[in-house]
Amino acid sequence: MIVLRSDDEIAAIRKAGAIVGRTLEVLKRHVKPGITTIELDAIARDEILRRDGFPAFKNYKGFPGNICTSINEVVVHGIPSSRKLKTGDIISLDAGVKFRDYYADGAATFAVGEVSTEAARIISVTENALYKGIEEAIPGNRLSDISHSIQQYVEENGFAVVRAFVGHGIGTKIHEEPEIANFGPPGKGPRLEPGMVLALEPMVNAGTFEVQVLDDGWTAVTRDRMISAHFEHTIAVRDGRAQIMTSPG
């Protein structure tokens, strides 16, 4: 069942989202050669707690980190570790926050120093694809209109959208109905209504769309080990255009 949130609930989700947005903004300043992903994890934890939030990913289904740190060919769910970033890497940082009884979820991919032309392009295309999806999140459209717009834009730019992982509803749980694919034909699925709160998150690969989950049970990598990028916003469907919940507060 897709829950339609009240104005008060959306205001609460926006507060959680502001912590997500601010945390990603702080992390961006620290993404430099030589820093480890466990250091980024600690920075995120401290920022979330300082703002009276709670890191929603910590111990979620056993995940050990406060955030996901996914480098280069890692698509999603990278576990923070002692690995140091180096010039030319790209890294997706994915943060979920619980604030009181409500959740928000967001992600962005950052360049580490100077990166290749392909790396810069996949970051740009993935971020733009997210906003293409957000443009379709208006009352009266179908859920798959979001999916189709993302896939169409990504493939027009020569990249591939991941099929194995999808966006999701969000509210009083980090993952709620509906699932939101980043691919598919338009005009399918539930009709969008004001009050729906959705986490849209295109995951885009430079090569094949296929992925492989490593032995740790979490880390998802591209099957061909080419690079991948990931962006995410929590949004609320409202009358008129969708509202982004995970902008910095």
Q: What is the pLDDT of residues 8-35, one digit of tens each?
A: 999 999 999 999 999 999 999 999 999 9
Q: Is residue 1 part of a domain?
A: no
d(CA 59, CA 181): 25
Averaged pLDDT for residues 148-161: 98
Please state, rounded to an integer, the average pLDDT across all residues of the chain.
Answer: 98
Averaged pLDDT for residues 120-147: 98
Give me the pLDDT at residue 248, please.
83
Give the SS3 label for residue 5. coil
Q: Is residue 137 part of a domain?
A: yes
Give the SS3 label for residue 246. coil
pLDDT digits (tens, 9 = 90+) for 196-246: 999 999 999 999 999 999 999 999 999 999 999 999 999 999 999 999 999
Percent of the chain, pLDDT > 90? 99
Averaged pLDDT for residues 125-141: 98
Q: Is the pLDDT of residue 103 over 90?
A: yes
Q: Is residue 205 part of a domain?
A: yes
Averaged pLDDT for residues 145-174: 98
* Alpha-carbon distance values, 60 to 64, 67, 143 (Å): 8, 11, 27
pLDDT digits (tens, 9 = 90+) for 219-233: 999 999 999 999 999
The pair of three-digit structure tokens given for residue 177, joined into one six-digit string: 């109905």
Q: Is residue 203 part of a domain?
A: yes
DSSP letters, 38-100, are: HHHHHHHHHHHHHTT-EETTTTGGG--SSSEEEETTEEE-PPP-SPBP-TT-EEEEEEEEEET
Q: Is residue 49 part of a domain?
A: yes
Give me the pLDDT at residue 249, please.
62
Give the range of the structural domain holding residue 123, as residue numbers without chain letter: 7-244
First to last CA, the chain: 30
d(CA 19, CA 16): 5
Tokens 């829950």 identify what position? Answer: 3
The count of other CB atoms within 10 Å of the CB of residue 132 is 20
Contacts of 109 (CB under 8 A, 6+ apart): 90, 91, 92, 93, 123, 126, 127, 229, 230, 231
Write the CATH number for 144: 3.90.230.10
Q: Is residue 2 part of a domain?
A: no
In which band, very low, low, confident or very high, does the pLDDT at 172 lie, cut at 50, 70 and 90?
A: very high
What is the torsional sign of CA 36, 110, 163, 59? positive
Q: Is residue 249 part of a domain?
A: no
Q: In terms of DSSP H, where are the helices of the chain?
A: 7-30, 37-50, 117-135, 143-156
How many domains does the chain contain in total?
1
Q: In terms of DSSP H, where are the helices of 157-196?
A: none
Contact of 189 with 178, CB cutoff 8 Å: yes
Q: Is residue 27 part of a domain?
A: yes
